[in-house]
Amino acid sequence: MTIPRDIIPLSNTVVPSSPSLSAFFNAGASPSYETSYFPVVPKKQLKPFNTGDIRILLLEDIDRTARELLQKEGYQVESHTSSLRDSELAEKIRDVHVIGIRSKTKLTASVLDHAENLLAIGCFCIGTDQVDLEYAAKRGVTVFNSPFSNSRSVAELVIAEVIMLARRICDKSMEMHFGTWQKGSTRSREIRGKVLGIIGYGHIGSQLSVLAESMGMSVLFYDVVPLMAIGKAKQVKSLAELLVSSDFVTLHVPETLETRDLIGRTELETMKKGSYLINASRGCVVDLQALCEVMRSGHLAGAALDVFPREPSDDGPYFNEDLARWVTEIRDLPNIILTPHIGGSTEEAQEAIGAEVGGALLRYINFGCTIGAANMPEVTLRSLTVAEESHLRVIFIHQNRPGVLRQVNDILGDHNVDKQMSDSRGDIAYMMADISKVDSTEVQALYTKLEVLSCEIPKFLSPLRPYFGSTR
């Protein structure tokens, strides 16, 4: 557990928002924070609230690029180097408007039920399987991630592992650490001319394909969709075809129902004798019990695992039998490289992710822009400018039902609707409209009328709220 740090005092950087909005954004704010004032910068962006009222919780050692970006905006940012235990997470998530996580923090429906004020989740990684995306959308919580900022880092780790496995580097190094000098070439091979089989030819798989070919390997890949092969790589028709033909099999699929235990005993036994398995995707994709047995039988020559079906939530001496039964077995296997989910953990990747996800959160909070969202329709409009006085941006997240937009437009209709964009994704729709000639005294009435509309949404959807922004 870590001590919260970097809590910025509340700041009043902008013209105060309407009382109802202050109430919305201030709900749960701790009265103990000090107040201070930052210079007002005349930016051409929405300031629908006091930016200092926005409370952001960053977990799992998210890069300082994100922290600094968000702090500069005047938001209150509290950051922790690790994830939080369940009870602490439930408590902390209650008050915040934004939470930033990586892969350890599980934002399930029951955790999200505690999140009374949550507007957005930033997954500072590629995977979003740790978040119940659908439930978050139903609660009007928008989720952002970084689709490829750490892809290269994962690809580089895998290429390193291919060589290390082929030369049994980890075992050799371990022997030396224990004082044993054991020279020899038995079961050490070059990777040139060998076949790399990639399962999942997306951002990481295709990047790896380029690296592997440049080192003289042949590349086969299997993917559920037909894809353009890069270089001389070849897409195969079935998983079995890839498994029987590859010297190294590496997994780069997302965690889905279909990929759970994608590699079980049958698949492991289908792999070539003396081949190697690498998993830097998600732990549940490989049946570890089967892997241990097949490795002990000598059928596989080695493996590298960066991800596990259960991973410790804290750094420390936790990779032991308390985590799972298979841990002891895996630790005892020869020529197996074990790494603590560090595929994307490079300074370059983390900095890029911090800027990308931090920027997406900022654009969402400040402008309502959902471009890049993982669970909401992608909607944006050109920003309002400070010259456009008496303009108001209305954002309305609602159930995707016939008639809702007509009702919304009836309410907005007394004003000039300068621009409007609406889109839906499954059951959820997102509407953004810029209306003009709005007197500040009318904002509350508009809000109330829209809020009544949202009452038509079943009770569990009640947090879907209208959200206003103005240039003032």
Ligand X SMILES: O=C(O)CCC(=O)C(=O)O
Ligand Y SMILES: NC(=O)C1=CN([C@@H]2O[C@H](COP(=O)(O)OP(=O)(O)OC[C@H]3O[C@@H](n4cnc5c(N)ncnc54)[C@H](O)[C@@H]3O)[C@@H](O)[C@H]2O)C=CC1
Residue numbers annotated as active site = 282, 311, 341
Q: Which of 62, 170, 277, 307 binds ligand Y (CB under 6 A)?
A: 307
> Can you tell me whether residue 249 is helix, strand or coil?
strand
Q: Does 40 bind ligand Y (CB under 6 A)?
A: no
Sign of the torsion formed by the C-alpha atoms of 386, 423, 143 and 280: negative
Q: If you count them, how many residues does the chain have?
A: 472
> What burial class does residue 41 get, using C-beta atoms within 10 Å of its C-beta: 0-12 exposed, 13-18 middle, 19+ buried?
exposed
Report the C-alpha gap between 192 and 218 in whole angstroms.
8
On whether the CB atoms of residues 244 and 271 are closer than 8 A, the answer is yes
Q: Does 225 bind ligand Y (CB under 6 A)?
A: yes
CB of 358 vs ligand X, minimal distance in Å: 15
Query: By rule CB under 6 A, what count of residues binds ligand Y?
Result: 32
> Can you tell me whether residue 58 is helix, strand or coil?
strand
Question: Pick from ligand Y, ligand X, none: which does 149 bind, CB < 5 to 8 A by kind?
Answer: none
CB of 51 vs ligand Y, minimal distance in Å: 31
The residue number with the shortest CB distance to ligand Y is: 202
On whether the CB atoms of residues 159 and 212 are closer than 8 A, the answer is yes
Nearest one of 211, 103, 223 to 155, comparing CA atoms:
211
Quick one: 138 or 341, whose CB is closer to ligand Y? 341
Nearest one of 292, 312, 214, 202 to 250, comparing CA atoms:
202
Q: Does 122 bind ligand X (CB under 6 A)?
A: no
Quick one: 24 or 144, whose CB is closer to ligand X? 144
CB of 150 vs ligand X, minimal distance in Å: 5
- 325-364 binders of ligand Y (CB under 6 A): 341, 343-344
Q: Does 306 bind ligand Y (CB under 6 A)?
A: yes
Name 10's bridge partners: 35
Q: Does 150 bind ligand Y (CB under 6 A)?
A: yes
Quick one: 94 or 254, whose CB is closer to ligand Y? 254
120-128, 182-190, 327-335, 361-369 -> range binding ligand X (CB under 6 A): 120-128
Report the C-alpha gap between 358 and 352 in whole angstroms.
10
Q: Does 103 bind ligand X (CB under 6 A)?
A: yes
Q: What are the strands of the beta sheet with 120-123, ordered from one edge?
A: 76-79, 55-58, 98-101, 120-123, 142-144
CB of 300 vs ligand Y, minimal distance in Å: 20
Question: Pick from ligand Y, ligand X, none: which does 50 bind, CB < 5 to 8 A by kind?
Answer: none
- 183-212 binders of ligand Y (CB under 6 A): 199-205
Q: Does 102 bind ligand X (CB under 6 A)?
A: yes
Cα–Cα distances in Å, from 410 out to 395, 396, 452?
15, 14, 13
On whether the CB atoms of residues 97 and 365 are closer than 8 A, the answer is yes
On whether the CB atoms of residues 453 and 407 are closer than 8 A, the answer is yes
Q: Does 126 bind ligand X (CB under 6 A)?
A: yes
Question: Pick from ligand X, ligand Y, none: which does 102 bind, CB < 5 to 8 A by kind?
Answer: ligand X
- 329-368 binders of ligand X (CB under 6 A): 344-345
The first and second tokens of residue 354, run together, are: 């911090």
Q: How far from the centroid of its chain's Cα atoms is residue 355's Cα? A: 13
Q: Which of 45, 79, 151, 275 binds ligand Y (CB under 6 A)?
A: 151
Question: Pick from ligand Y, ligand X, none: which does 415 bind, CB < 5 to 8 A by kind?
Answer: none
CB of 409 vs ligand X, minimal distance in Å: 40
266-282: buried (b, 16+ CB within 10 Å) or exposed (e) per residue? ebbeebbeebbbbbbbb
Quick one: 92 or 102, whose CB is closer to ligand X? 102
- For ligand X, the binding residues (CB under 6 A) are 102-103, 125-127, 150, 344-345
Q: Could you list the residues that contact ligand Y (CB under 6 A)? A: 126-127, 148, 150-151, 154, 199-205, 222-225, 252-255, 258-259, 262, 280-282, 306-307, 341, 343-344
